[in-house]
Amino acid sequence: MKFNPLLVIKLLLGLFICIGIALTILMMVHDSKVVGAYVVSGIFILFPGIILYGMTVGFRVSEKTITRQIAQQESVTSDHKGLSYQIPLLKTTQFISWEIIETIIYSNYHSDDQAQFSFYLTQPAFQIASEKPGWLAKVLLPLIKTSKKVVIYENCINFCEIPKMLEKHFSSINPVDINEVHGKGTLLSSKTTLRENTIQIEEYWKPNPNFEPEKVIYDRYNRTIDELKQSKNS
């Protein structure tokens, strides 16, 4: 039998719910008047119940919320002059000219939440303000304006298209598999179940021993990742 951490979490949540229900029944049988005890038992039932419901059934998100989230999502585009990185939260666009790009590193560490492209520049990216900045932009923009590094995370729209954008301008681009992750090397087993008209797939993978968490996609001087790290430390 294979270890399923998700099942263990669900069982623990169910155990907390059962404890809360048992405490409530016990207090009702003994006609307890202690309000704090009912609050504690309610917490044992309510919070694990909400988490268990979300893990099992999921929560519905309104179209209005989805539209708002999309409007605030970062995006990246390109043309013959360079890359345009739109940041709606800061009401600004960072324009990265092709000529100022020195190094591009793709990283996808197992401990990180998201993969990312890091652009190391010879000078700070040009900032294009779309409208009057808010208080958050006023705090962060001065730091961004002086930085020679721009990081684009995988939740950015067109993130997966970045390698193609780079190939159109740079001739020496190292290939990168955006879909490659550390935990998915060899598929050991797969289980498909149908629950309430929803298909659920559980897969168990053997980690990829050859996975590289950092890759140099482009470097003006054709340096390796180790050489770049040495140059930063020197």
pLDDT in tens, 158-178: 999 999 999 999 988 999 988
111 and 171 share a domain?
A: yes
- Domain that includes residue 213, residue range: 66-233
74 and 170 share a domain?
A: yes
124 and 226 share a domain?
A: yes
pLDDT in tens, 205-231: 777 777 788 999 999 999 999 999 888
Query: pTM of the entire structure?
Result: 0.64
Instruction: Return d(Cα 17, Cα 191) in angstroms, integer.
Output: 28
CA-based angle 166:167:169, to the nearest 5? Answer: 70
Q: How many folded domains does the chain comprise?
A: 2
State which amino acid sits at residue 146: T
103 in Cβ contact with 151 (< 8 Å):
no
> In the predicted model, what is the mean pLDDT of residues 172-199?
80
